[in-house]
Structures are given as C-alpha cells and as structure tokens.
Amino acid sequence: MRSWEIFRFEIAYQYRRVSTWLYFIVLLTLTYYMATEIYIDNARSDGYFFNAPFVIAVMTVLGSLMGLLSATRLAGDAAARDVQTRMDPLFYTTPVGKAAYLRGRFLAAFVLYAVILLAMPLGLLLAAVVPGPEAELIGPFRPAAYLGAYLFLALPNAFVATAFLFSMAALGRRAMTSYLGSLLLFSVVVFSRGFVAGTLEWWELAKLLDPFGMTVLGELSRVWTPVEKSTRLIGLQGSLLLNRFLWIGIALGVLTLTHLRFRLAHHTAGAWWSRGARRADRETPMGDAIVHVAPRVRRTFGFATHARQMLTVARESFQEIVMSWGGLVLAGMAALAVVSGTQIEHMGVPLFATAERITAFLAAPLTSPQEVFGMIVPLLIVFYAGELVWREREARLSEITDAAPVPEWVYFLGKFVGLGLVLVALQALMMAAGMLIQVLLGHVDFQIGLYARILFGLQLPDYILFALLALAVHVLVNHKYVGHLVVAIAYAFMAFGPALGVEHNLLIYGSDPGRTYSDMRGFEPFIGPWLWFKFYWAGWALLLAVAATLLWISGKEADLGSRLALARRRLTRRAAGLAAAAVALILTLGGFIFYNTNVLNPYRTASDSLTWRAEYERRYGHYKGIRQPELTRANLRVEIYPGRREAEIRGTFHLVNTSPDAIDSVHLATKSAVNTTAVRFDRPAKNVLSDEEFGHRIHALETPLRPGESLQLDFELHFKPRGFPNRGMDASVVANGTYFTNDAWLPAIGYQADRELRSAGDRRKYRLAARPETPMLDDVEAHSDAGGAARIAFEAVVGTGESQVAVAPGRLRRTWTQGGRRYFHYAADVPIRNHYAFFSAAYAVHEGRWNDTSIEIFHHPTHAWNVDRMGRSIQASLDCYTQQFGRYPHGQLRFVEQPGDGVSLHASPVNISYEEGFSLLNPGGDPRDIDLPFAVVAHEVAHQWWGATLTPARVEGAAVLTESLAWYSALQVVERSLGPEHLRRLLSMMRGVYATPRTRAEVPLLRATDSFLTYRKGPFAMYALREYAGTEQVNTALRRLLERDGSGTPPLATSLDLYRELQAVIPQSLHYLLVDLFEANTFWELATQRVTAKQTETGTWQVTLDVKTRKVVVDTAGVETEVPMDDLIEVGVFTAAKAAGPGEPLYLQMHRLRSGEHRITVMVASKPARAGIDPRKLLIDVEGDDNLKEITRAEGQKR
C-alpha cells in the first residue's frame, strides 16, 4: 500500500500545480481550434464528416504529439524531482522498496497524462457541438469512435511516452534527460511518417517504427475512401495491432530495464566514461594555520570589461551546450543529414549533387516542420534557451552571480551570443555534411560561397531571431515549463499562422515572403524584400532584448510588481535609447513594408482570393457563353528589360466572328499581373465598363460585327511590379531567367470560366450553384467549347538584353542588335494553340536535326549533363511518331530550361519547357539502369501530337487523350531506341506506384481526371491492348483519331472517341478487355500458388501450375463486386534468371481462364525455373508479385 500512497501523493502534488491545468486548457483549445479551422476545410472539400471516426483518430494522435511537452514535465518530475530537490536520502531510507516507489511514481505520471489527453476528445466534442460548422458536415455522434480513439491510440501512446520519459529521467537523474527523450520520440514519429514512409516509401517499416501510430493513420488516409473515413471505426487490426503490441512491449522492456538499473542509493557523481581518466582527487586538507594572502590585482570596470565579461559568458554558454548532450544532437543531425542527403532522388533517379540541390535540401526554412530535421533545430533552441536562462538558479549559484558587479545585459547578451555560436557551429557542421554528401555522390563542385550565403546568410538569421525570442520569453515568463510552453506556442504560430488565418508577414514573428535560390535566377528577386523583413524583425528582437534585460531576474524578488519596479530603476539612458531605436526601426521599416505590401500592391489573403473568384462569377457569370469573336492571329512586339525587371508588349489581335449571330460588344479580360492600356479597335467602339478590380472590360461596338467579319484589337501592356507584395515577388522578369505565359499577361476575349471556383466545398461556402469540378464526359456543351483548341497564327518580335537569348514559339526568322539590345523575330509555320510562353536568359544552345526539323535545346550553361541524351531522345521520338501518327507540322522543336528547382516539364506548341531540377537527373547513377530523362523527353515530344494537334474537350477523361497516350507513345520510343529489356525495366518502375497505399475506389478510365489513372493506369491499359491486339492495330486507331479530330475545330475529341476507334480495330473477342480496362474499374486478382516440374522420358519437361483467378469491379464508393471471368490470360514458363532481367521464356501463350482455382499443364523443351500467369503483368492487378513463382520439383523425381 506504500505504492498506493506514493501514487496518491504524486497525483495530489501535480494536480495542485497550475501548469498541469494550463497544459490541459491549452491542449483543449488547440484541439478545438485545429478541428474548427483546419479539419473543417478538409472535411468540406474531401467529403467526409467533420466528426468522423477517422478525423477523431487523427486528432487524437496529433494531440499525443502536442501533449508530449506536458508528458515530459509530468514524467520528468515524477522520476527526478526527489534527486533535484535533494529529498532522495529521505525517501530512499524509508522502507518503501524500489518496486513500489517506481511503480507509484510511474503510474501517477501515466494517469495524469492520460487525463490530460482527455482534453482532445473533449475539444473535438466541443467543436462538433458548439455552433459553427455547417450541419451537413456533422455526422452522427458515435461514442465508439471517441472511445476507440482514446483506448487504442491515446492510452498506448501515453503509456509509451511516459515509459520512455520516466525511464530517461529516472536513470539520468535529471528532468532534462526526459526533454531529450521527448525530442527523440517526436523526431522518430516525424522521421518515420515523413521520410521513411513519405520519401522512401517503405510503409511497412515506417508503420512499425512509428511509436504513436501516425504512419498507420497516414496510410489509412490514403487508402480509405471518403465514405470509409466517415463511417469506419479505427479498430485494432492489422498494422495498428502489431504496432501497439510492439511499442507496448518496448515500453515494458524499458520500464523493466529501469527497474533493474535504478537503485535507491546514494549516487556518486562522475560520468562513466571519465572514470578511468581522472586522477585520484584527494581531499586536500586545509593546511596549516598560517594564511597565505593572494596577491592584489588591478580590476577595471566599464564598458570594455563588460564586453569581455559578455564574451566569457558567451563562451561558457557555448561550452555548456556543446559539451553536453546538445553537442551529440548536433553531431547526430549532421550524420542524419549525410545519410538522408545521399538518398535524394526523384522517382528513384539520383540527382547530380550540385551545391544548389544540397543547400536546398539542408536549408529548409525554420517554419517548415515537414522536413526531415525541420523541427529539431527549433526544439533544440527552445530547450537550450530555457537551460541557459535557468542555469544559475538551478545550480544554486544565482545569489553569487546576482551580487557580482555585472550588469544584466552582459548575462543576457552573453547567453544569446553563446546560443548563437552553437547555431553557427551547427551551420558549419551542416556545410561540412553537405560537402561530404557531394563528395560521396561524386560531384565535387563545392561552391563554398553559395553554401556560406545560404546556410549563414539566409538560414542562420532565422535561427538567431528565433533564439532571441526563446531567450526573451524565458526571461519574461519566469517559469521554466510555462516558458517552454509559450515558446512552443509561438513556434506553432510561426509555422501554422497562415492556416490559422494570420497571413500578413508583418504579424508573424521572423517571417518573410519567402526566398528561393536557383542556378539560373540566383537569389533574385527575393532578396530585397527578405532583407527588409529581416531588419524589421531585428527591430522587434532588439525591443524584446531590451525588455528582457530590464526585467532580468536578479535577486529573490520574482513577482511582477517588484520586477517592474526594478526595471524602472534599471532604465538607463542607454537602455532607453536602444528601445527607442528599436521602436524607430520597427515603425519606419514596418511602415515601409506596409506601404509596399498593402498600398503599392493589393493585399490578398487566401480567402480573399476565393472571394474574388466568387464575386467575379457573380458579376459576370451571366456573360458566359455569349457570342464573342475568336482570336485568329496574334502579332506581338515584346520588350523585355531584364535588368529593370520590366517588360512591355504592344500587340495586335485579329478577331473573327465565327458565330452565326452579330456581335455588338466585345468583352475583354485583363490580367492582374500587368497594366493593360491603349486598347483600340479598328472600328469605333465605346468602353462601357472598365472593372479594373476584376479585370473585365466591355467595349460596345458602334456597328455590330456581322458573322464572318473580322476585327482588329490593339493593346499595350506593361509589366512593372512596384515594391513587393506580401505573398512574394513576381519573378516573371528577372536579370537571368525570364519566363511568362500568354495566359498570365495577355488580355483574353470573353468571360473567363477558368476564374470560377471549382471545388464543391468552396462553391458551397460562397453560395454558388453546384457544379462538378470537371464537366461530365457527356456534357455536350463542353465538347463544343473550342476554347482550348482554337488555333491562331502567331508572330512576335522579342527584344531583350544584349547577352540574352529570347525564345518564343515558331521559326526564328531573323535576329539583330539595335540600341544595345538583341531582337528576335519569331513566326509560327502553322497556326498554333493559343497557349505559349516567352523565355529570355543567357542560354547555351545545343543544336540538332531530324530530317527537316531543327532541334534546339536552350539550357543554362552549366546544366549540360543531360542535353545530349535529350537531343537523342527528341530525334528518336520525331522518327517514331512521324512514322506512326503523322507529320510534325512545325520546322522546329525546342526544349527550353526555365528557372525553378522543381522537376516538371510543360509542353506548349513548338517549345517545351523544363525546370532546372530536370537537368539535374543523373540516370547514369540509377541502379535500376533506366534512362528516365530519355523517356520523359519522349513523353513531352509526344504532346505535340497528343495535346497540341489533338486537343481534347475539357471534360472527364480528357487527360487520357493527352497524358496516357503520350506515355504510351513514349513507351514505343523507349522500346525502339533502348531495347525491349529497357522498356521492361521502365514498366517495372512505373508499376512501383502500386506499392504506395491507395484506395481501389476510382472512376473508370474513360472518366479519369487524377494523375494516378492518367499517368499510370492509362498507359498500362494501352500497353496491354497492344500486347493483346497488336501494335499496328492500336497505332492505326490512334492515327485515325488524329486524322479525325486533329484540326482543333469543335466538337472536340473525348475519351469516347478514342474508345470508338479502338473498338473498330480490336477483334470482337477482345472487346471484353476494352470494357474491363476502360469502361469499368476492373481489378484482376491473379495468383500462382504452386508450380511443379517433372521431366519426362523424352527429355522434355512437364510444368504444372496451380493458379487462382478472380475479377472484381470496384465502384467509386469502394463497393467491390465480383464479376464472372472468361478471359484470355498469358501463361508463361521461364528459364533461370541470369544476372539482370528474367530468364528466357520457354512458353508464353494466352489461355482462356474462368474465375476460381485451376491447374494448368504445359510442356517445355528445357529446364524451367519459374512459371506463372500474366507474368508480364499486363492486366491490372494490385498484387502483381504473386503472379510468378519458383518451380519446385514434383515428388518422386530422380534423375
């Protein structure tokens, strides 16, 4: 019963403390706020209940993470308070016994934490009950959901967390070690969810590694349909059960270890690793009674001394952190950086480890907690700021130090500088790590200056500002644990401010509009505003520092009244001057920034943008579909001024009335990025409406435009950004790397339906008529909307800086220099889609040719590694596609590098742009030996047919005509140029997408809109068709499709047209396959259970396969229906696999199989090693790995 007494006393002790309740209330509020602000949007847009069991479970796990801070305090206190208050001799000499003592304390900490975690379901209940969210978003109240989440998620998490933190504090004999424990736990959760599962995609390992179950839920989030999320309870099955067992077992093991190692005894100090090293410390006696007097020394006081003292304090603080566990953590981070940095890849292809890539990896912004160690550094700062501020008091030295003739600012500044030095050391370690990564990956172009600028010039100031905030808060809030809480809340605000509704960077401490570095653009144009913001926040930091110094705790008076009185007395002229300077800095810079972000530029929050779009639809939506003249020709004169970051365009549009009615007014949509002026028609017209805010103008023609008549529109536009907006600079025109599209700048005719709100949730919120996000497949009106497909004649003269090359669609007619500027005259050979871009940079050009098509690759001079490869791919693609689908209409094909560190490419007529990241792909280092850039280039070139020539209607399934066919075409090129083996490897890589957890509930391929269907399932389906029906047949269908619908005149093609063409070429016996692949969402479940082989007398082998087949159709709600099967499925027998690749096929034939279990017997000529059904995985089967099996010999065989 001593155990009970210890338990009871501990509970009563913590129960009485304010911080316990503070944590409860904070957790409650946070849960409530997160649910109502963040999850409500998810629920609205993804279509599940806001109080769904799934949401409750996710919030519970998040709460376990957020509550770790309180668990740290409770467990650390319970375990180490006796030692830290030095009551241990009194406790240990009672007959309480080790087991009862530990058990009582641990259970008390666990129970308290479990009670605090009740704040989460409570907060969720409140959020669902207190009026706010729309009624239709609230599902039925299911106590089982709350109970289940609490019992299966919160309680085990609490047990694991308390076990670890308690053990660490008990064995370390300091509450501080439990802080490090919580940091470790937190990092493991984030690491397994974000990196192991998110980046490496090793989901099984990640689910086990994650002690809080976050990864398990993460997988469910991807696999469950919205209906499942709304209704299914999180139960103890499968991976969750395993995870709980494992971690509870680990926790029990840790507790047992603690029980064994803990001793109710006096502890002799001395770290175990220094025991041997130290010489015997003898107690030196006092000596004889004669006093030896120490010599007199001169002492100085004054500023120089104080400065030196400050440096001493700084050095002390630095050593304190680095020599303790903190140093290990820093070293660990560097090691972790090296390990994960060498893994950076895109779709499995390693990247060239340029300095730009590595620094982007290392220097994640302070407030992006998703990065691998994005959270660790702020947590370290929070923790060590507290340690530094409380150091003297905890060592009981404070009365001595307070009585020393040292002004307070010396201490504050010294500790700040010490912490700052630790951060500098961290950045130096990171730099070393980065260079090591580069060495390991074999790319030794170090660019130390870049490292220095990014790690020390950009990231370090963020850390320093945050460190000062942490220190100041700890001084002002004179309570260590509450201080930690406040800084943690401040950090959460900094990281999630926009999500919580605060978006202006003047209001979020330390924030700025963002900055990126790219090899082409450098730091431009983001550095200017970044600097202004940082100085502004430095002003605030200075003010905080002054406040902290004035309110520095000195002596025993700790209540607010005496501190304020003390502060008043400390207010020297210098302090007041500094404060005034800080305030002046804040006001002037703040004012300047505000002028830029709110006066020179419109300030728009995310919800403002939505409101704008809704209002646009409300005002002008009734003009949708009215007759407007069509653009047939664009003639542009573009002047780019890279140095000034300005551009202007003088343009002439030729419009024709292609409709059967007369048009009396022309609606012009102007773009907000530019200032459109001097709009003139070649006939009298009056400007009856000019809504600058919404970019809509109406010009009434004096004489209506008759059908067939044409109209000329002249305009001028200026791109001249003023100052900087809050959301970040517009980087369209920069010193090197200009890129803008016609959609972004040039005026458009008519009502812009693109501006409407798309998502159902948003439309409901703004009370607009419901509308499907993508028009339905059978929406005939959409088929006739030729918007995207209309062709225009294009001609442009582009002027740019002397050292740059400008690129626009069409043939380069001529280039000249005039007035210190270079000019390029482009004209398209044939009409192009009205979707193009302008580029200008100091490019290097790689030239090539295929027949009479010139091939040019414009690239940044140092990004030349893949250019040859790309050129070869373009040639091979042109060769293949011209033969299979028809002529490429233009005389030139270009790839142009555009600034940005992403890896995406975008196909426009004639010019295909690719981001800088793409040029960094290193297929030579790919262990799978797949030339991904080659394949991707082939895909993009294919878009010149699938997209530019054949432009589908904007309905469901449109992407099948563009993306799926483009990938299918690229597969052909890969096969022809790189060989069938290479194609097999590429397909294998693409099938890797099935390993990512996803739900099987999908629309059929004909209606596909999402990327998984259009980029993967579509090409797989086409490839399967090819293998079943024949390459020529399929290509014929595609050729016919292009011939019929490749003109761009409405009605535009849809996936149904492709389907009809395929139906025409594919034999009737295979039509079932067409239906299964395209019309229904069919999954085959094929498995080979056993294969045996027996050698016959004639030397041939008889192979027997036991297979199981099944076919299901899954609808969008996730309901699975088994359908009868009578399908042709390939059966194959192979020889033993050699070094790379599978063995040779001894037998590969189609068999007709029904559903159920079958035994198939085939004869082959030589010794087989593996066999199975659908060995090439042509059919859509999520579990493709069980198709092939190793052969075991039948019984009773001897030879």
Partner 1 sequence: MEIQIRNLSKTYANGVHALKDVTLTIPHGMFGLLGPNGAGKSTLMRMIATLQEPDQGSIRFGDIDVLRQKDKVRETLGYLPQEFGVYPNVTAEQLLEHFAVLKGITDRRSRREIVDALLHQTNLYEVRKKKLGGYSGGMRQRFGVAVALLGDPKLIIVDEPTAGLDPAERVRFLNLLSELGEDAVVILSTHIVDDVSELCSRLAIIDKGTILLEAEPLQAVAAMRGRIWRRVIEKTELPELERAQSVISTKLLAGRTVVHVHSATSPGPGFDPVEPNLEDVYFTTMAGHYGGRGEQPVLEAAR
Q: Which residues bind partner 1 (CB under 8 A)?
A: 1-2, 5-6, 9, 13, 16-17, 81, 85-87, 89-97, 264-266, 268, 270, 275, 278-283, 285, 288-290
Which of left, alpha, beta for 522 (phi over 0: left; psi -120 to 50: alpha)? left
Distance in Å, CB of 19 to partner 1, minimum: 11
By C-beta, is 14 or 840 nearer to partner 1?
Answer: 14
- The pairing of strands 738-741 and 663-669 is unpaired
Read off the tokens for 584. 């002046």
By C-beta, is 400 or 1148 nearer to partner 1?
Answer: 400
By C-beta, is 290 or 1140 nearer to partner 1?
Answer: 290
In DSSP terms, which residues pair with 950 in a beta bridge? Answer: 946
By C-beta, is 19 or 1088 nearer to partner 1?
Answer: 19
CA-based radius of gyration for the chain: 35
Distance in Å, CB of 923 to partner 1, minimum: 59
Q: In what order do the strands lie in the sheet with 1188-1190?
A: 1145-1154, 1126-1134, 1170-1173, 1188-1190
Distance in Å, CB of 259 to partner 1, minimum: 16
Distance in Å, CB of 167 to partner 1, minimum: 22
By C-beta, is 286 or 444 nearer to partner 1?
Answer: 286
Distance in Å, CB of 164 to partner 1, minimum: 25
By C-beta, is 20 or 597 nearer to partner 1?
Answer: 20
By C-beta, is 94 or 784 nearer to partner 1?
Answer: 94
Distance in Å, CB of 93 to partner 1, minimum: 4
Instruction: Choose among 368, 378, 427, 436: nearest CA to 194.
Output: 368
Distance in Å, CB of 488 to partner 1, minimum: 24
Distance in Å, CB of 139 to partner 1, minimum: 45
By C-beta, is 250 or 264 nearer to partner 1?
Answer: 264
Distance CA 27, CA 126 (A): 13
Q: Which own/partner contact pairs does 776-783 have at CB distance under 8 Å and 24+ positions apart?
A: 776/955, 776/956, 776/1007, 777/955, 777/956, 777/957, 777/1006, 777/1007, 777/1054, 777/1055, 777/1056, 779/955, 780/1051, 781/625, 782/953, 782/954, 782/955, 783/953, 783/955, 783/1050, 783/1051, 783/1052, 783/1054
By C-beta, is 290 or 304 nearer to partner 1?
Answer: 290
Distance in Å, CB of 285 to partner 1, minimum: 7
By C-beta, is 394 or 709 nearer to partner 1?
Answer: 394
Distance in Å, CB of 583 to partner 1, minimum: 39
- The pairing of strands 791-801 and 630-641 is parallel
By C-beta, is 265 or 1165 nearer to partner 1?
Answer: 265
By C-beta, is 15 or 141 nearer to partner 1?
Answer: 15
Distance in Å, CB of 340 to partner 1, minimum: 39
Q: Is 51 helix (H, G, I), strand (E, B) or coil?
A: coil
Specify the DSSP class assigned to residue 690: E
Distance CA 588, CA 595 (A): 10
By C-beta, is 16 or 1138 nearer to partner 1?
Answer: 16
Distance in Å, CB of 121 to partner 1, minimum: 30
Distance CA 980, CA 542 (A): 66
Distance CA 1036, CA 918 (A): 33
SS3 letters across 845-905: EEEEEECCEEEEEEECCCCCCCHHHHHHHHHHHHHHHHHHHCCCCCCEEEEEEECCCCCCE
Length of the chain, in residues: 1199
Specify the DSSP class assigned to residue 599: I
Alpha-carbon distances, residue 684 vs 678, 681, 704 (angstroms):
14, 7, 10
Distance in Å, CB of 72 to partner 1, minimum: 19
> Is residue 1158 within 8 Å of 1107, Cβ to Cβ?
yes
Look at the block and give the residue holding tokens 């619908």. Answer: 1045
Distance in Å, CB of 398 to partner 1, minimum: 15
Look at the block and give the residue holding tokens 């090691």. Answer: 335
Q: Is 119 helix (H, G, I), strand (E, B) or coil?
A: helix
Distance in Å, CB of 78 to partner 1, minimum: 12
Read off the tokens for 109. 């900490």
Distance in Å, CB of 116 to partner 1, minimum: 19
> Is residue 654 within 8 Å of 616, Cβ to Cβ?
no
Distance in Å, CB of 932 to partner 1, minimum: 60
By C-beta, is 270 or 772 nearer to partner 1?
Answer: 270
Alpha-carbon distances, residue 455 vs 217, 529, 891, 1182 (angstroms):
35, 18, 46, 44
By C-beta, is 98 or 976 nearer to partner 1?
Answer: 98
HSE-CB of 692 using CA atoms within 13 angstroms: 6
Distance in Å, CB of 324 to partner 1, minimum: 20
Read off the tokens for 524. 């431009």
**Which residues 6+ apart lie within 8 Å of 579 measured at CB?**
543, 546, 547
By C-beta, is 5 or 134 nearer to partner 1?
Answer: 5
By C-beta, is 77 or 940 nearer to partner 1?
Answer: 77
In DSSP terms, which residues pair with 894 in a beta bridge? Answer: 856, 911
By C-beta, is 86 or 298 nearer to partner 1?
Answer: 86
> Is residue 700 within 8 Å of 664, Cβ to Cβ?
yes
Which amino acid does the sequence have at 560?
A: L
Read off the tokens for 1040. 């016919």
Specify the DSSP class assigned to residue 951: -
